[in-house]
Structure 1
Amino acid sequence: MISEFIYKYYIDPIHYDNSYNIVNTLTYAFILLVCTWLIYRWLDSNHISIDREFVYSLIPWIVFGGCLRVVEDTGFIKSDIHVILITPLIYFLIFAIAMPALYGAYVLEKRGVIPSWKRIYFWAGILLSAVTLLFIIWFGLTSAHFDLLVAGTILAMATATTGLLYAIIRYGFRWQYVQDRLYQILIFGHMLDASATSFGIDLHAIPYTEKHVVGSALIDLTGTAFVMFPLKLLVLIPGIYILELYRREGATGIWYLILVAMIMVGLAPGIRDMMRMVLYV
């Protein structure tokens, strides 16, 4: 009975890359919160500063995760090992690469080998992202499509909606703290996710589908994937408000980590969806 439950709600959706269900969605959300807290405790216990530069150094690794997920979409990996590139396993894979690299760079700085571990860590993420992106470009040019117009359209949608949401929050709600660059990255990441989803389902030549529970239900209810934009508003506006309360209470370390987690769950799938649509896979 228990094994059937596990296969139905956890293993089969990963193995067959099916849509999410309410059970695994809530489970993964809980795991993300727990992991965020554990990472915070580990960083704090090792006296690794969690600051603005720390967040910036992680952004390329989020991009790397989004690009690496596209490698699985290409079907290039034929063996069963491809499942480690499917959510949520890919998050553990990125973690297994990123955390040792982070600690190694930190130790090198402490020993005076390098001047700044965050700078090295940032460029390591850039390098991994570039290598993965080069593979995606190569695959698109040799084995699939590589439609830059798709990327341009999605990025234009994301940029325009980011500007609009920023204006609403900054001038409508008069939340001046949204001028913080990290909040702007957060908004852009989720607008990219919403733009890619909307374009892929409603406008792309290939009929893509939404796999997340809430998004899928709202799309079925409204008949359009552009409902993702108001859904993002319902998440982002109170999310940013609550985040700012944390920061004002002095909990800056956990504020930075929660902010990174929120950026990740928007930017990474946004990049993945956009790039797979560029390839038509």
Structure 2
Amino acid sequence: MIREFIYKYYIDPIRYGQPYTLVDTLTYALILLACIWLLYRWFEKNKIIIDRNFVYALIPWVVLGGCLRVVEDTGLITSDLHVFFTTPLIFFLIFAIAFPTLYIANILEKRGTIPSWKKIFGGTGLFLTLITLSFLVWFGITKAHFDILVASRILGIAFGTTAILYAVIKYGFGWKYVQDRLYQMLIFGHMLDASATSYGIDLHSIRYSEQHVVGSALINLTGTAFVMFPLKLIVLIPGIYILELYRREGASGIWYLILLAMIMVGLAPGIRDMVRMVLYV
């Protein structure tokens, strides 16, 4: 019975690309929280300062995760190795590359070999992202489609909705702290995710589908994927408020990690969905 449960809710959805269920969604959320806490404790033990420069250095790795996910969407990986490029295993793949890079760069800084491990770490993530994007552009031009207008439309919706939400929060609610660049990145990441999902399901010539359980249920209920925007508002606005309360209590390190995780779960799928729509895969 346990074996059947594991295959039904964890192994088969990864193997066959099935939509998420409530069971695996909650499981992965708990795993993410546990990983954040364990990483926080490890960083504290090794005296690694978690600040905004740390978050900035990790953003290229978040983008890399979204781009590598598209590599699997192209279908070029025909062996069983393709499962490592699917969610949630791709998070462990990125971690397996990023963590040793971080560790080595931090040691080199302590030895005085390099001036800043964060710059080396972030630069490595950016370099790998550019390589992956170059491959995807090559694939789109030579083997599939490459419609840059799709990206411009999705980005246009994302920037527009980000500006509106930012204005509402800052001037309507009076939350001046939303001027923080990290909060702005958080808003944009989730607006990009909502924009890509809405465009892909309602407007793209290929009708994509929503795999997450809550989003899928609301889309089926309302008949439009643009319901993702109010869904994001329900999560983002209270989330920003609670995050700011948490920061004022002085827990800056864990605050940065939680904020990074929230940026990641919006930005990474948003990047992935937008790029795959540009390539029509």
Q: CA deviation at 1:166?
A: 0.2
| Amino acid across the alignment from 2:101 | A
After TM superposition, list the pairs within 5 Å mapping 1:1-281 onto structure 2. 1-281=1-281
Partner deviation per Cα, 1:91-130 (whole Å, 9 max, x = no partner): 0110111111001100000000000000111110110000
Q: Distance in 2 between matches of 1:38 and 1:168?
A: 36
Identity percentage of aligned residues: 74
| Amino acid across the alignment from 1:65 | G
Runs of 5+ consecutive residues of structure 1 not aligned to the other structure = none
Q: Distance in 1 between matches of 2:208 and 2:51?
A: 38
| Amino acid across the alignment from 1:184 | Q
Q: Please list every run of at least 4 consecutive aligned residues from structure 1 whose deviation after the TM superposition is greater than 4 angstroms.
A: none
| Amino acid across the alignment from 1:89 | L
Counting matched residue pairs gives: 281
Q: Distance in 2 between matches of 1:132 and 1:159?
A: 24
Partner deviation per Cα, 1:223-277 (whole Å, 9 max, x = no partner): 0000000000000000000100110000000000000000000000000000000
Partner deviation per Cα, 1:157-197 (whole Å, 9 max, x = no partner): 00000000000100000000000000000000000000000
Q: Distance in 2 between matches of 1:143 and 1:76?
A: 11
* Aligned CA-pair RMSD: 0.4
Partner deviation per Cα, 1:2-51 (whole Å, 9 max, x = no partner): 11111000000000011000000000000000000001000110000000
| Amino acid across the alignment from 2:146 | F
Q: Distance in 2 between matches of 1:242 and 1:124?
A: 33
